[in-house]
């Protein structure tokens, strides 16, 4: 355990950090975070004894730091700093082997078989074995950093201090290095104290964090600290937003730079027998279950393609992307749907409630209507039938986007119920078709709107126009008498 009480210190009589109380549990990955000049490197130098503390006490594993001899410190801790300067022209292997020096005994230090085994292992682990006979000075900055990490691990320290360890590394080697460090942490009960600037990297690999601001430790704790947007905004003086990583239960931070207030974008619409295409002059925030662009994102283009009833649905993503590219549309910024409904029968409905404009574009048919509450034999996927695009001139939170999709669904189900649309297999009231697609897109202009359900003006506007749009589209579908 590392324990600091009332620690202050700095350079040439000027104190950089003030009255630090901090405890770091054994075997934890602790990350110091804070803006440039907040005192992170100074605090690291105080913990390691490179700088003497002006006030307070520092203990390592219950023993005062100043009672350790230099050799004992070298066995106890290793330090990897941002600098990769080495005075002599050593080879990579010689640099890494220097990490074993604190463990060598006697007047004439010599390298044992165990030393060589450890050196080989850490060079393999840090992917520097291939450079072992090269002069250290000939390596790139990232390669030098990995060699110095191998040297630090060769010391077999109980505590590893890292000052911006990924500063010179590309994305791949950043991830690989930190994954190896996490493995070392678990396998050897290693305590890691790291300075990182990247909040998202810290969130992925650290166990605990400490936030420094102007030399003071303003908060310490587990990774839930990174969910406190107000605290991070105060420390970094920039608007931030917390969200979760899409693959693992880890926080990620999005910085929002100051920008001009958004304006309501213009749009144009193209409609013919092959597709409906709405193109906006700037991206809208979207939530969708479309073939392309599903999930939460940003899109400028919204496409609904017509396909025949005989369309082979095995590779819809590939087909939709191909159709987009043929028409000069960038799939990266596009919501893409498909339907077997005749696109001439599309409906546009608009509503304005309390200054919030809402528009829906609907194509609907019920040839493959289903009641989702009834179990039935699954059949082959067919092209989507009820496709609904809703555009909202408001600033919706992610929660409000979910609310809005719920409002769309409720209105669609109500429209089908009032039209007495049945599931042909179960004979019960249909709730939709087997492959419906929905997108809600928001301009993100105006005051933040946290809800868009049936108890809100925007939710009721969505419900009203979707209900009307589905019914009118079904009227056209029935008059045509075919899908």
Residues 395 and 446 in one domain: yes
Same domain, 275 and 222: no
Give the Cβ contact number of residue 289 at 10 Å: 16
Instruction: Give per-residue burial for 249-288: e unless 16+ CB within 10 Å, then b.
Output: eebbbeeeeeeeeeeebebeeeeeeebbbbbbeebbbbbb
pLDDT at 305 over 90: yes
Residue 69 and residue 90 in contact, taking contact as beta carbons nearer than 8 Å: no
Cα distance between residue 189 and residue 192, in whole Å: 10
The answer on 303 and 210 residing in a single domain is no
In a domain, 261, yes or no: no
Residues of the chain with pLDDT > 90, as a percent, come to: 68
The pLDDT score that the predictor gives to residue 106 is 54
Note whether 324 and 423 are same-domain residues.
yes
Share of the chain above pLDDT 70, in %: 94
Q: Do both 462 and 377 map to the same domain? A: yes
Predicted local distance difference test score (pLDDT) of residue 299: 97
**Comparing 107 with 159, which gets the higher pLDDT?**
159
pLDDT band at 258; cut points 50, 70, 90: low
How much is the mean pLDDT over the chain?
90
Task: Give the pLDDT of residue 164.
Answer: 86
Which residues have a Cβ under 8 Å from the Cβ of 465 and sit 6 or more positions away? 349, 350, 351, 358, 359, 360, 390
Domain boundary among 235, 255, 275: 255
Residue 324: CA count within 13 A, CB half-sphere: 25
- Tokens matching residue 142: 């990232």
Lowest-pLDDT range, 54-58, 381-385, 399-403, 453-457? Answer: 381-385
Which stretch of 72-76, 214-218, 252-256, 260-264 has the lowest confidence by average pLDDT? 260-264
Please give the pLDDT value at position 422: 93
Tell me the backbone φ, ψ of residue 385, rounded to 5 degrees. Answer: -110, -55
End position of a domain, from candidates 210, 229, 255 = 255
Q: Mark whether 57 and 181 lie in a shared domain.
A: yes
pLDDT of 70 strictly over 90: no
pLDDT digits (tens, 9 = 90+) for 323-360: 999 999 999 999 999 999 999 999 999 988 888 899 99
End position of a domain, from candidates 195, 226, 255: 255
105 pLDDT tier (thresholds 50, 70, 90)? low
Instruction: Answer yes or no: do 239 and 334 share one domain.
Output: no
Domain boundaries, position 444: 267-480
Q: Is residue 35 part of a domain?
A: yes
Q: Same domain, yes or no, for 158 and 19?
A: yes
pLDDT of 20 over the 90 cut: yes
Domain with residue 21: its CATH number is 3.40.50.300
pLDDT value, residue 107:
54
State pLDDT tens for residues 140-156. 888 888 898 899 999 99
Identify whether residues 370 and 236 lie together within a single domain.
no
What pTM does this model have?
0.80
pLDDT at res. 483: 45
- The Cα–Cα gap between 197 and 250 comes to 17
**Does 274 share its domain with 251?**
no
Burial of 78 (C-beta count, 10 Å sphere; 0-12/13-18/19+): buried
Question: For the chain, what is the domain count?
Answer: 2
Under the banding of pLDDT at 50, 70 and 90, the label for residue 28 is very high
Residues 167 and 194 in one domain: yes
The pLDDT, as a whole number, for residue 406 is: 97
DSSP string, 134-184: SBGGGS-HHHHHHHHHHHHHHT--SEEEEESTTTT--HHHHHHHHHHHHHH
In a domain, 260, yes or no: no
């Amino acid at each position: 355990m590392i324990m600091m009480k009332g620690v202050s210190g700095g350079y040439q009589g000027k104190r950089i950090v003030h009255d630090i109380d901090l405890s770091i549990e054994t075997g934890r990955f602790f990350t110091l975070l804070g803006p440039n000049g907040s005192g992170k490197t100074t605090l690291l130098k105080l913990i390691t004894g490179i700088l003497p503390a002006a006030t307070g006490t520092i203990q390592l594993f219950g023993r005062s730091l100043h009672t350790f001899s230099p050799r004992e410190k070298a066995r106890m801790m290793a330090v990897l700093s941002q600098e990769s300067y080495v005075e002599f022209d050593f080879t990579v292997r010689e640099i890494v082997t220097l990490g074993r020096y604190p463990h060598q005994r006697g007047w004439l230090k010599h390298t044992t078989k165990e030393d060589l085994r450890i050196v080989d292992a850490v060079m393999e682990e840090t992917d520097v074995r291939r450079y072992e006979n090269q002069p250290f000075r000939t390596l790139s900055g990232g390669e030098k950093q990995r060699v110095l990490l191998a040297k630090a691990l060769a010391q077999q320290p109980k505590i590893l201090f890292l000052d911006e360890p990924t500063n010179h590394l590309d994305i791949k080697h950043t991830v690989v290095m930190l994954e190896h460090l996490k493995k070392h942490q678990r396998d050897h009960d290693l305590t890691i104290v790291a300075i990182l600037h990247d909040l998202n990297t810290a969130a992925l690999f650290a166990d605990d964090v400490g936030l420094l601001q102007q030399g003071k430790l303003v908060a310490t704790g587990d990774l839930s600290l990174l969910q406190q947007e107000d605290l991070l905004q105060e420390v970094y003086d920039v608007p931030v937003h917390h969200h979760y990583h899409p693959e693992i239960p880890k926080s990620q931070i999005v910085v929002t730079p100051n920008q001009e207030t958004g304006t309501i974008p213009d749009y144009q619409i193209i409609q013919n027998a092959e597709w409906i295409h709405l193109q906006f002059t700037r991206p809208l925030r979207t939530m969708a279950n479309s073939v392309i662009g599903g999930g939460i994102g940003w899109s400028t283009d919204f496409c609904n393609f017509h396909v025949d009833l005989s369309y082979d649905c095995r590779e819809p993503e590939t087909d939709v992307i191909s159709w987009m590219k043929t028409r000069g549309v960038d799939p990266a910024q596009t919501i893409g749907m498909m339907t077997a409904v005749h696109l001439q029968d599309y409906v546009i409905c608009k509503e304005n409630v309390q200054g919030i404009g809402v528009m829906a574009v609907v194509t609907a048919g019920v040839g493959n209507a289903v009641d989702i509450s009834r179990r039935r034999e699954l059949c082959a996927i067919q092209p989507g039938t009820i496709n609904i695009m809703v555009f909202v001139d408001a600033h919706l939170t992610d929660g409000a986007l979910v609310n809005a999709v719920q409002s769309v669904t409720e209105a669609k189900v109500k429209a089908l119920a009032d039209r007495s649309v049945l599931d042909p297999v179960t004979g019960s009231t249909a709730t939709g078709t087997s492959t419906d697609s929905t997108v809600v897109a928001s301009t993100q202009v105006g005051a933040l709107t946290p809800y868009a359900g049936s108890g809100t003006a925007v939710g009721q506007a969505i419900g009203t126009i979707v209900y009307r749009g589905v019914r009118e589209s079904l009227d056209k579908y029935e008059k045509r008498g075919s899908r």
